[in-house]
């Protein structure tokens, strides 16, 4: 049986580990959060969904344990934050077989960075739509059950290969999984969707609550249209993610970003908070600089104004630096920073 390592035990990594373990695959979960690993070792992992709670006994290890295992993996699925990408990928390279496959189950645009650390021939790209939250060791809230969970996987060169279909077969144990010959376009489409929910992060609200604030939906659509425009200038073709069809995306035209966000907010359900909002609640660094910040960076390089994304980055910076509290009134601050960005 092929050996699988899930490297990163946050919400995504924990949910994937539980699903693959329940499918009787040879899986181990590795993470640096010692309390989480110790709790799983003692009591198993509780995954809470709308269908109830399941407890799974998972092979769980601390990062330091890998040196003692003295084995290499056929597959490594890395589920860490974008800012941890390079050092964790380099760490993973020591434990991947020469012909092994490395898949980044991450937000943002990390596949080229992963390739630098792992080797491009070993890397497969992935897009993830699995909403989950984790605040306590050993317990993860999975907002999207398997029937509402969606992945796309693709070779970086666009080919459909046997190893790609092997990855698809593995991920079908977690949710729906499509193959794509346009992984860069698919990744940018997900980045558009993420960029549109990142403005919610400083509001201390769940997604469905945030989107109903006066002016919030319009602001998020403004963010998405900028992200769409920058991606188009980069040559990325939008991909019909989240179960949408090419016809639906094509008919939406300039409103494609709005269509994607509505579908995503609906799919993740009423209890979900965006990943950046969870990080702010925990007092942790968010990935906004790698999502909205990526749009702003590429926009500057291409000469495309991105005041909406610039405003999101500035409010996130203020949140990180404890200059503002998490509060729904920060929607007004977003519009204030938008006005300032437009004047620059």
Q: What are the pLDDT digits (tens) for 102-153?
A: 999 999 999 999 999 999 999 999 999 898 999 999 999 998 889 889 999 9
User: By the 8 A CB rule, do 103 and 89 touch?
Assistant: no
Q: Which of 290, 317, 277 is nearest to 84 (CA)?
A: 290
* Average pLDDT score over the chain: 89
Instruction: Please check whether the two domains, 3-181 and 189-343, share a CATH topology.
Output: no
CA dihedral 220, 225, 227, 228 (to 10 degrees): 140
Q: Whose structure tokens read 């645009």?
A: 109
CA dihedral 141, 147, 150, 153 (to 10 degrees): 120
Q: What is the CATH architecture assignment of 189-343? A: Orthogonal Bundle (1.10)
β-pair partners for 5: 28, 76
Could you give the 3-state DSSP secondary structure of residue 148?
A: helix
One digit per residue, pLDDT tens: the chain, 344 residues? Answer: 899 999 999 999 999 999 999 999 999 999 999 999 999 999 999 999 989 999 999 999 999 998 888 789 999 999 999 999 999 999 999 999 999 999 999 999 999 999 999 999 999 999 998 989 999 999 999 988 898 899 999 999 999 999 999 999 999 999 999 999 999 999 998 898 889 889 988 888 877 788 888 999 889 989 988 998 999 999 998 776 656 655 665 555 556 666 766 666 666 555 666 666 677 667 778 899 999 999 999 999 999 999 999 999 999 999 988 898 989 999 999 999 999 999 87
User: What residues contact 129, with CB distance under 8 A and at least 6 apart?
Assistant: 144, 149, 150, 151, 175, 190, 241, 242, 264, 267
Classified by CATH at the fold level, domain 3-181 comes out as Rossmann fold (3.40.50)
Q: Whose structure tokens read 């409103």?
A: 255
What distance lies between CA 140 and its chain's CA centroid?
A: 16
User: By the 8 A CB rule, do 296 and 313 touch?
Assistant: yes
User: By the 8 A CB rule, do 337 and 311 touch?
Assistant: yes
Q: What are the pLDDT digits (tens) for 71-95?
A: 899 999 999 999 999 999 999 999 9
Q: At what angle do helices 330-343 and 216-233 cross, to 10 degrees?
A: 40
Which DSSP string corresponds to 30-80?
A: EES-HHHHHHHHHH-EEEEETTEEEEE---EEEGGGHHHH---EEEEEE--
β-pair partners for 62: 31
Domain ranges of the chain: 3-181, 189-343
User: What residues contact 35, with CB distance under 8 A and at least 6 apart?
Assistant: 137
């Amino acid at each position: 049986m092929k050996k699988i390592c899930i490297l990163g035990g946050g919400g995504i990594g924990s949910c994937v580990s539980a699903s693959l373990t329940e499918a009787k695959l040879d899986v181990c979960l590795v993470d640096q959060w010692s309390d989480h690993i110790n709790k799983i070792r003692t009591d198993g992992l509780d995954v809470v969904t709308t269908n109830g709670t399941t407890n799974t006994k998972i092979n769980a290890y601390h990062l330091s344990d890998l040196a003692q295992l003295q084995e290499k993996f056929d597959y490594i699925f890395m589920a860490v934050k974008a800012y941890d990408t390079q050092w964790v990928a380099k760490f993973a390279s020591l434990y991947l077989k020469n012909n092994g496959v490395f898949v980044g189950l991450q937000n943002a645009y990390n596949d080229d960075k992963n390739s630098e650390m792992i080797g491009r021939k070993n890397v497969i790209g992935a897009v993830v739509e699995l909403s989950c939250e984790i605040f306590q060791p050993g317990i993860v809230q999975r907002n999207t059950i398997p029937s509402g969970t969606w992945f796309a996987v693709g070779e970086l060169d666009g080919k459909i290969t046997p190893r790609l279909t092997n990855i698809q077969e593995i991920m079908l144990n977690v949710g729906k999984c499509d193959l794509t010959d346009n992984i860069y376009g698919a990744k940018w489409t997900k980045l558009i969707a993420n960029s549109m929910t990142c403005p919610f992060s400083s509001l201390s609200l769940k997604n469905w609550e945030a989107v109903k604030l006066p002016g919030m939906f319009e602001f998020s659509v403004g963010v998405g249209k900028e992200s769409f425009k920058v991606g188009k200038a980069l040559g990325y073709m939008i991909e019909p993610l989240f179960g949408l069809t090419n016809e639906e995306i094509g008919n939406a035209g300039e409103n494609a970003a709005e269509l994607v966000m509505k579908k995503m907010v609906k799919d993740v359900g009423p209890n979900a908070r965006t990943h950046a909002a969870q990080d702010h609640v925990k007092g942790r660094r968010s990935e906004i600089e790698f999502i909205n910040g990526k749009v702003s960076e590429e926009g500057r390089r291409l000469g495309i104004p991105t005041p909406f994304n610039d405003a999101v980055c500035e409010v996130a910076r203020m949140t990180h630096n404890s200059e503002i509290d998490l509060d729904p009134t920060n929607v007004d601050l977003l519009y204030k920073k938008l006005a300032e960005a437009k004047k620059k």
